[in-house]
Amino acid sequence: MNNECPKCNEYASRGNTFCGTCGRCLKCSENAARGETYCRTCGRCLKCIENRARGEAFCGTCGRRLDGTPGTSEPAPTETKLDMPVLSTALQLAAAAVLMVAVFEMITMYVNAADVFSALDGASLRFFIIIPFPVEIFRISGPAVQGYWILLILTITACVVTAVWKFIDSTRKGGGIVEPGSSENTAAFWVCVFFCAMLLLNFMIVLLAEAFGPPVEVPDFGDQIEQAFGMINAAVWEEVIARVLYIGVPMMVLSFVMTKKMDSLKCLLGGFGMSKAAIVFIVVSGIIFGVAHYPGWEDQLWKVVASAIMGVFLGYVFVRFGLYASILLHFITNYLQSFDWMGAAALGGIVILLLLVVGAIALAYIVVRFHRCRGSIGGLPMFRNSYIKEKV
């Protein structure tokens, strides 16, 4: 690797994908040696150095400026395609804003915590799995429900704090939030991309459903206290039964069969890395997640479509970053009503409008990213468990 920091080789020798000191992707050289145009790990254009060596002012592959300040991404005058670094920087700024929304929602959770705790006194709670429709497997009651509520609060808090810390750490090491790619490999970045994209997609799907089908109806989820508990319970438990059960468990079994290593158990928490097997399980989990919402939403087909897409997004962050990331994405989506509950409906409306605008940028980013990296899908291993260092 050219111009690497003194610690790059040390982290590479440990099997790390990124340098823990400078944040550099340690797989770019490996992918370049295989003749790839873009790095399969970080998505960076691998032709920039080659074009710079020929004296080009702009990279003919990605449009990045090569003769200016390092890291600039001004496209060539004749370049009309979307410029990835610009999208990356815009979404990094948006990710910081989405994290602030997550913190606001977490504060709302704590504001309602005591009232929810009191309301759960003597309550009974049923737990379901989806196969693919919800089926009750057990129930708890009395103090156990209140104890479960405390566990949910601690889980959400841990997810938000972890995402914020990793985002800040990555942007600091990567040169700042406006430096393209500095936080592109964090859960917060992708939670922002999928959250904003899904807001816009939901809006569009609802408009289509209203135009060509029966009126869209939102089921009665109860009063504020019932929703304050139910939405957090869904954010955590649905990730367990949809992502852990349908992605983590089969990947754990595959890992045990192929490696016979106890580290296979870590697959249950996600973050084991992308592979062809993982993609299959992501799609299956997304479809099951979508179908499971059919009876609860008054048999409305549009919700199945929207939930299935969301399920794929949740599956991706689960596989790439871990269970904390999918819970975070689910929580932020479910708890958007926090603005209403906190008496800030007007502010909430402005925030949602801004997030819808970001949603258009996020969808463009997803399309560009997929277009540039689609060729690397075929090169993915059939199975991968990044918790196990040896090749599988």
- Residue 60 has which token pair? 């003919």
- Which residues, including other chains, have CB under 8 Å from residue 38's CB and lie 6 or more apart? 31, 44, 45, 46, 62, 372, 373, 376
CA neighbor of 83 nearest in space, from 358, 374, 372, 375 = 372
Of the candidates 311, 41, 68, which has an alpha carbon nearest to the alpha carbon of residue 184?
A: 41
Which pLDDT value is given to residue 381? 86
Q: Count CB atoms within 10 A of the CB of residue 239.
A: 28
**Can you give the pTM of this predicted structure?**
0.80
Residues constituting the chain:
392
- List the beta bridge partners of residue 309: none
Angle at 44 between CA 41 and CA 46, to 5 degrees: 105
User: SS in 3 state form for 81-112?
Assistant: CCCHHHHHHHHHHHHHHHHHHHHHHHHHHHHH
Angle between helices 224-239 and 323-334 (to 10 degrees): 160
Pairing of strands 134-141, 124-130: antiparallel
Predicted pLDDT at 95? 97
The Cα 62–Cα 38 span in angstroms is: 9
Each residue's pLDDT, cut to its tens digit, for the chain (392 residues) gives 445 577 777 767 666 666 666 667 777 777 777 666 667 566 677 777 776 766 666 665 665 656 543 333 333 333 333 446 788 889 999 999 999 999 999 999 999 999 999 999 999 999 999 998 899 999 999 899 999 999 999 999 999 999 999 999 999 988 889 888 889 999 999 999 999 999 999 999 999 998 888 888 888 889 999 999 999 999 999 999 999 999 999 999 999 999 999 999 999 999 999 999 999 999 999 999 999 999 989 889 999 999 999 999 999 999 999 999 999 999 999 999 999 999 999 999 999 999 999 999 999 999 888 877 776 777 788 998 988 865 55
DSSP helix, strand, coil percent of the chain (3-state; round to 5): 65, 5, 30
In this structure, are residues 134 and 295 in contact, taking their beta carbons and an 8 Å threshold?
Answer: yes
Please say whether the beta carbons of 139 and 125 come within 8 A: yes
Q: What distance in Å separates the CA atoms of residue 245 and residue 34, rounded to the nearest whole number? A: 35
Task: Please state whether 122 falls in left (phi above 0), alpha (psi between -120 and 50) or beta.
Answer: left
Question: Residue 210: CB partners within 8 Å, gap ≥ 6?
Answer: 216
